[in-house]
A and B are shown apart, each in its own frame.
Chain A
Amino acid sequence: MENWSLVSLCVLLGLTARWTVSLNSYSGSSKPPMFGDYEAQRHWQEITYNLPVHQWYFNTTDNDLNYWGLDYPPLTAFHSFLCAHVAQLIDPEWVELHKSRGYESPAHKLFMRATVFIADIVIYIPAVVLYCLYLSDGSVRKKVSTMLGILLYPGLILIDHGHFQYNGVSLGLALWGVLGLGLGKDLLGSVAFTLALNYKQMELYHALPFFCYLLGKCAKQGLTHKGLILLVKISVTVVVSFAVCWLPFLSDPQQSLQVVRRLFPVARGLYEDKVANTWCSMNVLIKIRNQLSTDAQIYLSLISTLLAILPSSIKLFLNPTFWQFKLALVNSSLAFFLFSFQVHEKSILLAALPVCLLMNEIPLVSIWFLIASTFSMLPLLLKDGLLLPYAVTSVAFLFVSMYLLSALDRTTVDNLRARPYVRLFGTCFPRINIPLITKLKFALFLLAMAGLSFMSAALDPPAKLPDLFPVLVSLCAYFQFLGCMIYFNVIQLMEPSGKDDQKKVK
């Protein structure tokens, strides 16, 4: 079969999965007074459509910031503005100021779902297709398999098309950035990434690798001649794209400051709900939130995050190859997720995106991580009534990717890139079988995740411990994330410089 038809079949399958998931319920469906993220997005349309730009981020009589106030950067606001105009054409009631609060109807749901669907078609899916075709190694068959795997990643589908958010836009733009850098179009890549950053501030998780990669590349070309010119070019591009995004808010410093304050709400605490990160998991043993002041918490999380990203960033700066860049993206976003301040469970998607990009090279561990990341959002998905699509898409992803990428067969020490581990443990246990141990651990954790999913869905928690299942879920996910972070760091840091050159983009 021709390649283009294989690619189109993959894309169609991905789209079908997305739309079927979108037929299910969404976050906060008929749950007044606050509803959920669906209402938040609808409310932003209402605000941006009816109010002048300079009121968007301010608390006024018409804009109650306590009711889903806009707290994403300008591009999100512009996107809402655009959607609002379309909505207004179809039915003005959907975005009427004040009166439309909590508006829900089948037609409106269809419209909202369509906006996410279209955003995916325009931004995320083309990026995935191009990435797989041009930047992953191997035969066409293998590229297409990777593509299908990435397109079927359940976490993103469930959050965007089930729970309701537009992560596909920010992640898609970031992926366009990766694509630009991978293809040597550094300027275009930086523009795309700047846009991503201006769509969702959480993209900061990916910022350091982009910065270190580009800086390292300039340094390699010599910071006195060619490299300097490149550096200046990139900086100018980034500054200009930032300025364009923030244009309406630049007239008055108060405006920009207010936007920044809205983007980084430090008052909201170390973490929300049950997140599979270090602070929430430590909470089982020590109640950090009660023992330290907010400032101390911020410093603690800041320092530990910095410590966690530094090694991978330095290595990337010294050795700016595309392979190192991809690994650094994983390590940086995982470090942020596990250690930074005010983390949401959905932020794991930021780590999941770069792991998707490793599916071709390190199938088993990547798939494992991606499944675990979906699993970590289970309490949220259960709240939204997405149990069935969660179960089906997870099983489908696990099965399809394991089968097509033959993940269980590609588990020699070299496939797993576990040489460093062999060197490390080999001295004490000369007969250690790392592939076998990995597979056993994988099976064990799969069982644990399946069991916990079943218990969360089917059983009532004991009266004394109402949060038992969410805590167990987040702990189980936390250990897997931590393990993955160590693993990916070891791969990135121990990779000898000579081998990296083979991994460079062709």
Chain B
Amino acid sequence: MAAPMSESWSWFLALAFGVSLLKCLLINTYHSTDFEVHRNWLAVTHSLPLSRWYFEETSEWTLDYPPLFAWFEHGLSYIATYFDKEMLVVQNLNHASPATILFQRLSVICTDIVFIYAVKECCKCVQGGKGSKDLLGRPSFVLAVLLLWNLGLLVVDHIHFQYNGFLFGMLLLSIARHFQGRHLEGALLFALLLNLKHIYLYIAPAYGIYLLRSFCFSQDNKDGSLNWRSFSPVRLAALGAIVCSVFALSFGPFIVLGQLPQVLSRLFPFKRGLCHAYWAPNFWALYNVADKVLSVLGVKLKLLDASALPKASMTGGLVQEFQHSVLPSVSPLVTLVCTLISILPAVLKIWLRPSGAQGFLRCVVVCALGSFMFGWHVHEKAILVAILPLSLLAVESREDAGIFLVLATTGHFSLFPLLFTAPELPIKILLMLLFTLYSFASLRTVFRNKGGLISALEAVYLAGLVPLEVLCEFVYPCTVWRESFPFIPLLSTSVYCALGVSYSFIKLYLSLFRTESAGKLKSH
């Protein structure tokens, strides 16, 4: 699949350097409590012995990422001493001196080098676009911009503050390695990634099945079904050794210290509610609203007794606990089952009819989106786990490009409530326009001879985001309801976006089964 690498890559460096400069300009923007979270982790990992990392609770933001991320913070803290030693004191809560801000921001910008390298590897994996001499219409160029200048990463990492850049770098690099046939490397990278941030567990099924099916079995039957005799124990052993050693490296010390239950309880806090404070635009957002609508209707039609309903169940969007009044309440187990059911067909498909790395990538996206749709306490940021890998598919097929446009636009729009401060309002609108305009214009150029990318209905839906934004950010704050119903803008944003995300999810599922024949043609 690799495109010939004869042409110059100066444009790639220009894009990467350009976006890095933009990130530097964002240093003085608003940062969320996640900034303090990571500052605290720097302090904890720097000043305390290993045995207390997962017990320390001076700050409310306790360490809840896997051990390798803690080691990463530990490593960063050595550089931090050259900027401001005060940030490394656990008791200095909310310490945000200019030097601290500069250091933390720069650490995100610098570790993004991993991401940049991964994007370069991904760009090599897409078909070179032989037809178009024009650089701006080449799939690899478009992909580079869609990934490097991804709005979600800019917003979440460089304004809101998190370290997703290099984590996604590892994910994309591991995907690229699978495309290049370097499966063991890909597995190693993914194992490391899981030990850096466990949110990627959601896509682990795709990895596990794919590696087992397409790596441990070296041959297919002629009709594409499984050939049991081609099983290679050596490969399985190698794979197992890699994965186990990574996990041993990461969790081993804590097992020796006998702290494994404590670490795990920090990593999986099921005490939180079904939905995050601001509802991620997923199935449960729709479910909650349906519940509310039904209860209101029920009371109106005298089918329900108003006094029997739980009171003020919808101060919501702001309170995490949510009691359903008509529909059954949802437990973590239910969400887990729903998630598993939603990703099962996709995983089965790559077991029964694997269609190479392309099919694997599609499965990754479906897993990411399925868990986003049905998971417990999902954050709106998790949509990026689906959007970024989907970019790779989008530049290669027209149908995927259409799905990508709907999903990316609604998904990115649903990140808007993360930045609620007035000075950042123009930035998020400008960046959104920039990215959306580019993705539409560029993908249309890539597929210019193959008809439209999105249907009229989808276009109307996406255009509806504009009045929604105007109403939520400009009109609603001027109305009298601002005080009594402060949650309406968040609620409507998340419900409106949930429609688009669910729609993309269904469409992606359909594509999973439709592309079977097309995928096979490509792999030859």
Contact = CB atoms under 8 A, between A and B. Distances in A.
Contact of B21 (A2, A15, A395): A395
Contacts of B26: 20
Given A16-B427, A396-B21, A399-B17, A23 B29 contact: yes
Interface in B109-125: none
A356 B21 CA distance: 22
A264 interface: no
A17 interface: yes
Contacts of B67: none
Contact of B441 (A2, A24, A399): A2
B477 to A, nearest CB: 13
Contacts of A106: 423
Interface in B420-462: 422-423, 426-427, 430-431, 433-434, 437-438, 440-442, 444-445
A389 B25 contact: yes
B445 A393 contact: no
Contacts of B431: 16
Contacts of B423: 23, 106, 110, 113
B412 to A, nearest CB: 15
A281 to B, nearest CB: 32
A12 B430 contact: yes
B334 interface: no
A1 B29 contact: no
A15 B28 contact: no
A458 to B, nearest CB: 14
A9 interface: yes
Most-contacted residue by chain B among A9, A15, A23, A395 (CB, 10 A): A23
A5 B442 CA distance: 9
B518 interface: no
14 contacts: A1-B445, A2-B441, A5-B440, A8-B433, A19-B427, A23-B423, A106-B423, A113-B423, A388-B24, A388-B27, A392-B24, A393-B25, A396-B22, A399-B17
Given A1-B442, A399-B17, A24 B137 contact: no
A13 B434 contact: yes
Interface in A372-401: 388-389, 392-393, 395-396, 399-400
Interface in B18-69: 18, 21-22, 24-29
Interface of A: 1-2, 5, 8-9, 12-13, 15-17, 19-21, 23-24, 106-107, 110, 113, 117, 388-389, 392-393, 395-396, 399-400, 403
Contacts of A2: 441
Given A15-B430, A110-B422, A9 B14 contact: no
Contact of B18 (A9, A12, A23, A400): A400
A12 B136 CA distance: 18
B25 A9 contact: no
Given A1-B136, A1-B445, A403-B14, 7 more contacts: A1-B441, A9-B437, A9-B438, A12-B437, A20-B28, A20-B427, A396-B21
B81 to A, nearest CB: 19
B163 to A, nearest CB: 21
A392 B25 CA distance: 7
Contacts of B441: 1-2, 5, 9
A495 B445 CA distance: 43
A117 B433 CA distance: 17
B437 A17 contact: no
A11 to B, nearest CB: 10
Nearest to A393: B25
Contacts of A9: 434, 437-438, 441
A1 B444 CA distance: 8
Contacts of A392: 21, 24-25
Interface string B332-371: 0000000000000000000000000000000000000000
A23 B28 contact: yes
A321 to B, nearest CB: 34
Contact of B25 (A17, A107, A399): A17
A108 B425 CA distance: 15
A166 B14 CA distance: 32
Question: What is the size category of the interface that chain B forms with chain A?
Answer: 20 to 34
B21 A399 contact: yes
A106 to B, nearest CB: 8
Nearest to B442: A1
Please provide the 5 A-B residue pairs with the shortest distance between their CB atoms, ordered closest to farther.
A5-B441, A20-B25, A396-B21, A12-B434, A392-B24
Contacts of B29: 20, 23
Contacts of B18: 396, 399-400
B364 to A, nearest CB: 29
A121 to B, nearest CB: 11
A271 B168 CA distance: 55
B426 A117 contact: yes
Interface string B1-29: 00000000010001001100110111111
Contacts of A107: 422
Nearest to A17: B25
Contacts of B22: 16, 20, 396
A21 B25 CA distance: 7
Contact of B28 (A5, A8, A388, A395): A388
A113 B430 CA distance: 16
B12 to A, nearest CB: 12
B459 to A, nearest CB: 16
Contacts of A117: 426
B469 to A, nearest CB: 16
A403 B16 CA distance: 13
Contacts of B427: 16, 19-20
A21 B427 CA distance: 11
Contacts of A393: 25
A388 to B, nearest CB: 6
Contacts of B426: 15, 19, 117
A19 B30 CA distance: 13
A20 to B, nearest CB: 4
A455 to B, nearest CB: 20
Nearest to A397: B21
Contacts of A5: 437-438, 440-441
B131 to A, nearest CB: 15
A148 to B, nearest CB: 10
B406 to A, nearest CB: 19
Nearest to B136: A1
Contacts of A1: 136-137, 441-442, 444-445
A343 B440 CA distance: 48
Nearest to B27: A388
A13 B445 CA distance: 20
Contacts of B434: 9, 12-13, 16
Interface in B124-153: 136-137
Contact of A8 (B14, B24, B437): B437
